[in-house]
Amino acid sequence: MKTANFSWALLTFLLNSTKFNLQVGVFFQPLNSLLVISVLMRRHTLRKPNARSLAIESLLLSRKPNSFIEATVHSLQNKYKLPDSERRLLEELSFGVTRRRLTLSYIISNFLKKPIKKLQPTVEFALLTGAYQLLFLSKIPPYAAINETVKSIKEKSPHSAALVNAVLHRIHESIEEKTSDKPPSLLDPQKTILTPNGPTILKIPILPHPSETIKHLTVQFSVTEFFVEKLRSQFSEEQTQEILMSSITPPPFTIRANTLKTSRTELKKSLIKSAIKVEDGKHPSALIIKFPGDITQLRQFQEGLFYVQDESAMMVVDALSLQKGLCILDACAAPGGKTSAIAELLRNTGFLVAVDNDFKRLLAMKENLTRLGAVASLLCADTTLLSKTLNTLFDRVLLDAPCSNSGVLRRRLEARYRITQENLNSLTALQKRLLDGVAPLTKPGGILLYATCSILKDENEKRVEEFLKDHPEFTMGKKRLGLPKTNGHDGFFFSQLVRNN
């Protein structure tokens, strides 16, 4: 009896000890095994991983096929019910590392004896996470960035902690200044890492020499060489720099007031009452807000008073020239942002059909439309074969085609690494099939609006030119290319294709 009481007391002490770990079980062989297991499980469930450990985990999980860092991070946030401060840090680390992975890998490789890709993935992502904090986050003290990252790797790969510690210390020692207010044009390009908050200046030249223009821009902005070559062939040096700078700058948080339920003025008043910072966007339905928490928990979101959407998407919908009572087809509709905007402008009149080939995305879209009070008929179908499925002609057809996302790289974090010749060829072939698939569904006198969130000619102007050659029954209407702005809207393209009477 005394032995049992002593064992309980010792176990209680160990439960409250920060050094307690799963290996403690070997010291209590005489105890009932179920007791030990239950105690160990209880201790394990009490330990909640911190943002740095979860950042490494999210980066590992996002390597799986068809996985995306944003969805992975939100899944972990919900799983562990993180407080707002930890939620924000997890997002900053996971999204930041993904956005600047090539830059970080290039710098880290200068302090390794072998290529970073030959390290275990856990060690690689620990180094990337630690280096990101040191090079890009001025509010986190270097000692905290290093020590906490080393603690995180000790949990996952104890034998690698010394390597991570040594490399991160060497990176820290190589930094001369962070968030400098010195103009980048006056700095040594090989020692300068551009960031949205001001450059980080290194003590030693590490980045490629600017005479190697393509390589320098690829490393500096963490994009493919192919993408840099495309930009330089299309745009001026100044425009190329602005496009690339916008790709590494977190976007503004823009929402569209749902005019089926409120107005922008009333929504703005409501958000201000909820202590949310808000300002008017340039589009008459747009508001730009600053909210550090989970947007879906806001009362205004749950009541369907707004939809999260960039102003570029609002401008595309405006180009449909909508009127009440029209018959509209949204041909690649999920997740429903533009569909809901169309329903608002129609005031839920007329006939709106939204098509997508992904049933799960359509289910999520249905939830969005229900929340917003927007009415549309949803159809799961292959848009390339749509003219064989539907026997209705539409006044307006919106084809927001799948694309390289080259105009929204700051939002589609992984897309920057997928812009290659092979992928572009595949996308342009799909875009042609989609245009051919919906063209017969446009009424004479109606508008087929072709839109992308790309800024590349191959997906935009060239696609339209080829379409008009193949379809002489259409003529060109309005068209617009909007380049991404560091402090403004995303990049986009649209072209009105008017079917002749």
Query: Would residue 453 show up in a list of annotated catalytic residues for this protein?
Result: yes
| 47 confidence band (pLDDT: 50, 70, 90) | low
What are 458-494's pLDDT values in tens digits?
Answer: 999 999 999 999 999 999 999 999 999 998 999 999 9
Task: Give the domain-ending residue among 109, 143, 173.
Answer: 173
Pair (355, 492) in one structural domain: yes
CATH code assigned at 346? 3.40.50.150
The boundaries of the domain holding residue 7 are: 2-46
| 46 confidence band (pLDDT: 50, 70, 90) | very low
First-to-final CA distance of the chain: 97
Q: What radius of gyration, in Å, describes the C-alpha atoms of the chain?
A: 27
Q: Which pLDDT score is estimated for 26?
A: 40
Tell me whether the omega of the peptide bond preceding residue 335 falls within 30 degrees of 0, making it cis.
Answer: yes
Q: How many helices (H) and strands (E) does the chain have?
A: 20, 14
400 Cβ partners below 8 Å, 6+ apart?
Answer: 316, 330, 331, 332, 333, 338, 451, 452
Pair (304, 321) in one structural domain: no
Pair (116, 261) in one structural domain: no
Pair (302, 447) in one structural domain: no
Q: Residues of the chain with pLDDT > 70: what percent?
A: 91
What are 357-375's pLDDT values in tens digits?
Answer: 999 999 999 999 999 999 9
What are 280-307's pLDDT values in tens digits?
Answer: 999 999 999 999 888 999 999 999 999 9
Pair (363, 452) in one structural domain: yes
What DSSP string runs through 9-49? HHHHHHHT-TT--GGGGGGGTTS-HHHHHHHHHHHHHH---
Q: Which pLDDT score is estimated for 34?
A: 47
Length of the chain: 501
| 332 confidence band (pLDDT: 50, 70, 90) | very high
Name the region of 82 (left: φ>0; alpha: ψ -120 to 50; beta: rest). Answer: beta
C-alpha 270/C-alpha 292 separation (Å) is 17
What are 406-439's pLDDT values in tens digits?
Answer: 999 999 999 999 999 999 999 999 999 999 999 9
What are 58-69's pLDDT values in tens digits?
Answer: 999 998 888 899
C-alpha 396/C-alpha 342 separation (Å) is 11
The answer to whether position 490 is within a domain reads: yes
Q: How many C-beta neighbours within 10 Å does residue 335 have?
A: 16
Q: Which pLDDT score is estimated for 425?
A: 98
Pair (97, 61) in one structural domain: yes
Q: Which pLDDT score is estimated for 258?
A: 98
The answer to whether position 179 is within a domain reads: no
Q: Which segments of 317-418 are extended strands (E)? A: 327-330, 351-356, 377-380, 394-400
Q: Residues of the chain with pLDDT > 90: what percent?
A: 83
Give me the sheet containing 492-499, strands edge to edge: 377-380, 351-356, 327-330, 394-400, 442-452, 492-499, 474-482
- Provide the CA 221 distance to its chain's centre, in angstroms: 16
Q: Are 353 and 328 in contact (CB under 8 A)?
A: yes
The residue type at 98? T
Q: Are 197 and 181 in contact (CB under 8 A)?
A: no
**What is the token pair recorded at 5?**
């009481």
Task: Give the domain-ending residue among 143, 173, 203.
Answer: 173
**What is the token pair recorded at 157?**
């790969």
The answer to whether position 185 is within a domain reads: no
CATH code assigned at 300? 3.30.70.1170
Q: How many C-beta neighbours within 10 Å does residue 400 have?
A: 23
C-alpha 459/C-alpha 492 separation (Å) is 11
Q: Which pLDDT score is estimated for 84?
A: 87
Q: Which pLDDT score is estimated for 107?
A: 97
The answer to whether position 196 is within a domain reads: no
Residue owning tokens 């006198």: 445
The answer to whether position 180 is within a domain reads: no
Pair (384, 269) in one structural domain: no
Arithmetic mean of pLDDT over the chain: 91
Q: Is the pLDDT of residue 13 over 60?
A: no
Pair (477, 337) in one structural domain: yes
Mean pLDDT of 89-115: 96
Q: Are 159 and 150 in contact (CB under 8 A)?
A: no
Pair (287, 375) in one structural domain: no
**What is the token pair recorded at 252?**
């503004």
What DSSP string runs through 116-132? GGGS-HHHHHHHHHHHH
**How does strand 474-482 pair with strand 492-499?**
antiparallel
Q: How many C-beta neighbours within 10 Å does residue 37 have?
A: 11
137 Cβ partners below 8 Å, 6+ apart?
Answer: 92, 96, 145
Does the global pTM surpass 0.85?
yes
Q: CA torsion sign, 53 to 59 to 60 to 61? A: positive
C-alpha 206/C-alpha 135 separation (Å) is 13
Q: Is the pLDDT of residue 324 over 80?
A: yes
Pair (42, 61) in one structural domain: no
Q: Where are the alpha helices (DSSP H) in 381-478?
A: 386-389, 421-438, 461-470
What are 17-45's pLDDT values in tens digits?
Answer: 444 443 444 444 444 444 444 444 444 44
Q: Is the pLDDT of residue 158 over 80?
A: yes
The answer to whether position 326 is within a domain reads: yes
Q: Which pLDDT score is estimated for 65?
A: 85
**How does strand 351-356 pair with strand 377-380?**
parallel
Provide the number of structural domains found in the chain.
4
Q: Are 307 and 437 in contact (CB under 8 A)?
A: no
Angle subtended at Cα 183 by Cα 181 and Cα 189, rounded to the nearest 5 degrees: 115
| 501 confidence band (pLDDT: 50, 70, 90) | confident
The answer to whether position 194 is within a domain reads: no
C-alpha 426/C-alpha 403 separation (Å) is 10
CATH code assigned at 145? 1.10.940.10
Task: Give the domain-ending residue among 265, 286, 308.
Answer: 308
What are 216-246's pLDDT values in tens digits?
Answer: 999 999 999 999 999 999 999 999 999 999 9
Pair (339, 301) in one structural domain: no
The answer to whether position 409 is within a domain reads: yes
Pair (56, 130) in one structural domain: yes
Tell me whether the omega of the peptide bond preceding residue 196 falls within 30 degrees of 0, making it cis.
Answer: no
**How does strand 286-290 pair with strand 277-280?**
antiparallel
